[in-house]
């Protein structure tokens, strides 16, 4: 989970990078800031945000930094159907996501029942479950109010990560 001085304070990215044995670089701190400022952003969206403060950074460099930060647990990658991967700095708390099937907005959903992981498979054939990612497919309140419900009930997408 993010470490902050208060609920809305900017995290101390250099300290967090060092705690994960990573060098403190402008691309890393800029990407972390962009992902925190724009939760559930795609790599393209992170790139656009980072270019404001670091105009010379390439999209490929952003992808490399995102992969590095994810590997070290500083950000979380969210895989949603028919969409590029999304990223967030909220890690380590086993929360889930809801995505509107109309506008594609993604919001955090706290774990409703149980401790991490919230789901336990009936048979994992000797495997140890490390996490369970749940994506609720929903129609958000804004979309529900702005048009008729022409969407059929969407299935729950569940994926487990090792």
> Which residues does the annotation place in the binding site for Zn(2+)?
100, 103, 140, 143
pLDDT tens digits, one per residue of 42-97:
999 999 999 999 999 999 999 999 999 999 999 999 998 888 999 999 998 878 89
> Which residues does the annotation place in the binding site?
100, 103, 140, 143
The last residue of a domain, from among 78, 107, 134: 78
Q: Indicate if 61 and 98 belong to the same structural domain.
A: no
Q: Into how many domains does the chain fold? A: 2
Among the residues of the chain, which ranges form H helices? Answer: 13-19, 26-37, 43-53, 59-71, 141-145
Q: Indicate if 69 and 107 belong to the same structural domain.
A: no
Domain extent for 101: 94-161
**CA 158/CA 162 separation, integer angstroms:** 13
Residue 99 belongs to some domain of the structure:
yes
Q: What is the pTM for the complete model shown? A: 0.77
The pLDDT, as a whole number, for residue 147 is: 73
Residue 85 belongs to some domain of the structure:
no
Q: Indicate if 144 and 105 belong to the same structural domain.
A: yes
């Amino acid at each position: 989970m993010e470490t902050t001085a208060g609920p809305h304070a900017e995290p101390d990215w250099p300290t967090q990078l060092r705690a994960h044995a990573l060098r403190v670089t402008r691309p890393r701190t800029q990407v972390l800031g962009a992902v925190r400022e724009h939760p559930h952003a795609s790599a393209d969206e992170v790139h656009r945000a980072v270019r404001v403060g670091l105009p010379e950074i390439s999209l490929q460099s952003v992808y490399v930094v995102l992969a590095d930060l994810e590997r070290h647990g500083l950000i979380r990658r969210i895989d949603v159907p028919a969409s590029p991967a999304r990223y967030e700095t909220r890690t380590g708390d086993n929360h889930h996501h809801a995505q509107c099937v109309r506008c594609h907005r993604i919001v955090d959903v706290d774990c409703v029942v149980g401790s991490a992981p919230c789901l336990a498979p009936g048979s994992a054939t000797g495997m140890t479950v490390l996490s369970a990612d749940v994506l609720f497919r929903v129609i958000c309140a804004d979309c529900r109010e702005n048009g008729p419900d022409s969407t059929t009930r969407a299935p729950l997408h569940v994926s487990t990560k090792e």
